[in-house]
């Protein structure tokens, strides 16, 4: 790292432990980590022997199985010395401040015109010239994270959580196509243009369109799936129903029935009882989305949430609910998911202290941003069952009162 005062470092030998690669003891390692029982801190070293530890209150463990060949083999690491880097409190504070600068504008990025696009039916010709141009763009812009081989193991990958996409597998989370299908060119273009919130994947809307189109053709050369298969037709998503307290109450009920809380938590903070155990298809640990911050990796519009519920996120534990839930049920849960961020700070997810009259005013149709599908209803205020008129009357009156 260039700014060494922002990091703490330690070195440790890699030793053989029952046929597996493990960290040997060293004074620096004991000084850096607490070795707290029951708390595992996974380390995914780079080919150069550098590993980033996001946390230090626990026991560091080498996790190699998720890495591409030959780095997944213990034999590669035995006899080597690993350099482990952990952030200082100064770095955590700096990152939090920079994040706050960006989120002070709320969900502005969701309606920012260059990123607010839908292009699922887009088709890009796979010509030799396009691929050659795409290679140049990839080498300039993408190789640092996604790697020369497109396997998600670039020099920066050890610092990133979640890890960069492994293009060699041909599996993509953000699609308009059914579960298990390749994404359309338009899906890739959309992700590339708008970026992925809460990850290191930036928005590339400022990159010339011809470069974005070209790099998509090159990305597709990393996996044979693109030659063997064609993406299935996109799932058709109609206009969402009008957001109402009744619909939100139904979503709350379905959220419990479908056990969404198991991963995402009862309050939508991504802290459900299964959250710590979840891994993606490669074995990397993966956290459920925190709904309380109002910014979603695949887009924060209710249509985006509905699409994710319909298609699932391939390569992750998030399944498709297309066969297990009716369309109106998926819309209800989608609105409920968005409502978790009602009146919240977009960085911390904590509730903003707003007078009841202000909250009620912000929830009126004529006060919303044009085209916004967000319903500023607090999910904690929803009636337990949508079919109980008295509860709904009480809910509506309470929403307009002071002190809420």
Query: Which pLDDT score is estimated for 313?
Result: 97
Spell 5-32 as b/e; 16+ CB within 10 A means b.
ebbbebebbbeeeeeebbbeebeebeeb
Query: Which pLDDT score is estimated for 386?
Result: 38
Cα separation, 382 vs 268, whole angstroms? 15
Cα separation, 226 vs 98, whole angstroms? 38
Cα separation, 247 vs 382, whole angstroms? 10
How far, in Å, are 84, 158, 193, 278, 357 from residue 42 at the CA level? 11, 11, 31, 13, 47
Domain-wise residue ranges, the chain: 4-92, 113-228, 245-400
CB-facing half-sphere around the CA of 280: CA atoms within 13 A: 22
Q: What backbone torsions phi and psi does residue 45 show, to the nearest 5 degrees?
A: -70, 150
Specify the 3-state DSSP secondary structure of 20. strand
Q: Tell whether the torsion through CA atoms of 15, 17, 23 and 25 is positive or negative.
A: negative
Query: Which pLDDT score is estimated for 393?
Result: 33
Cα separation, 204 vs 281, whole angstroms? 27
Specify the 3-state DSSP secondary structure of 339. helix
Helix, strand, coil in percent for the chain, rounding step 5: 40, 10, 50
**DSSP string for 228-250:** H--PPPPPP--PPPPP-HHHHHH
Homologous superfamily in CATH for domain 245-400: Cytochrome c-like domain (1.10.760.10)
Is 245-400 the same fold as 113-228? yes
Query: Which pLDDT score is estimated for 389?
Result: 36
Domain range 113-228, CATH architecture: Orthogonal Bundle (1.10)
Cα separation, 213 vs 219, whole angstroms? 10
Query: Which pLDDT score is estimated for 213?
Result: 96
In sequence order, what E strands does 196-293 have? none
Residue 339, C-beta contacts closer than 8 angstroms, at least 6 positions apart:
248, 251, 375, 376, 377, 378, 379, 382
Query: Which pLDDT score is estimated for 229?
Result: 95
Tens of pLDDT, residue by residue, the chain (404 residues): 467 889 999 999 998 888 888 898 889 999 999 998 888 888 999 988 999 998 899 989 898 888 888 899 999 998 899 999 999 999 989 988 887 776 554 454 555 555 555 665 688 999 999 999 999 999 999 999 999 999 999 999 999 989 999 999 999 999 999 999 999 999 999 999 999 988 999 989 999 999 999 999 999 999 999 999 999 999 999 999 988 889 999 999 999 999 999 999 999 999 999 999 999 999 898 999 999 988 899 988 899 999 999 999 999 999 999 999 999 999 999 999 999 988 888 778 888 888 878 777 777 766 655 555 555 566 666 555 433 333 333 333 333 333 33
Cβ atoms within 10 Å, residue 181 = 19
């Amino acid at each position: 790292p260039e700014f060494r005062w922002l990091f703490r470092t330690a070195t440790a030998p890699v030793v053989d432990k029952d046929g597996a690669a493990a960290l040997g003891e060293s004074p620096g390692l004991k000084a850096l980590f607490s070795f707290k029982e029951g708390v595992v801190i996974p380390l995914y070293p780079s080919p150069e022997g550098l590993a980033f530890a996001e946390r230090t209150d626990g026991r560091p463990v080498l996790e190699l199985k998720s890495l591409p060949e030959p780095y997944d083999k213990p034999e590669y690491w035995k006899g080597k010395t690993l350099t482990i880097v952990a952030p200082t409190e100064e770095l955590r504070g700096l990152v939090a401040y920079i994040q706050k600068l960006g989120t002070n504008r709320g969900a502005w990025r969701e309606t920012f015109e260059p990123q607010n696009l839908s292009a699922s039916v887009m088709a890009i010709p796979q010509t030799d010239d396009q691929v050659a141009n795409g290679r140049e763009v990839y080498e300039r812009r993408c190789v640092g994270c996604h790697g020369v081989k497109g396997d998600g193991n670039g020099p920066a990958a050890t610092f990133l959580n979640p890890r960069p996409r492994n293009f060699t597998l041909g599996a993509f989370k953000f699609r308009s196509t059914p579960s298990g299908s390749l994404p359309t060119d338009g899906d890739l273009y959309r992700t590339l243009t708008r970026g992925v919130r809460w990850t290191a994947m930036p928005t590339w809307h400022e990159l010339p369109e011809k470069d974005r189109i070209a790099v998509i053709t090159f990305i597709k050369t990393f996996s044979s799936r693109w030659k063997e298969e064609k993406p299935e037709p996109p799932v058709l998503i109609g206009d969402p129903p009008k957001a109402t307290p009744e619909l939100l109450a139904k979503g709350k009920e379905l959220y419990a029935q479908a056990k969404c809380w198991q991963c995402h938590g009862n309050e939508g903070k991504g802290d459900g009882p299964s959250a710590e155990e979840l891994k993606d298809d490669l074995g990397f640990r993966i956290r459920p989305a925190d709904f309380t911050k109002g910014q979603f990796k695949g887009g924060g519009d209710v249509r985006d949430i509905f699409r994710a519920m319909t298609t699932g996120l391939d390569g992750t534990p998030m399944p498709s609910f297309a066969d297990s839930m009716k369309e109106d049920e998926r819309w209800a849960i989608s609105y409920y998911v968005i409502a978790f961020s009602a009146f919240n700070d977009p960085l911390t997810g904590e509730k903003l202290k707003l007078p009841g009259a202000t909250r009620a005013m912000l929830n009126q149709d004529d006060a919303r941003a044009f085209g916004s599908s967000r319903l500023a209803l607090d999910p904690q205020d929803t009636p337990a069952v949508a079919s109980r008129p008295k509860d709904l009357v009480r809910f509506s009156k309470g929403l307009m009162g002071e002190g809420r």
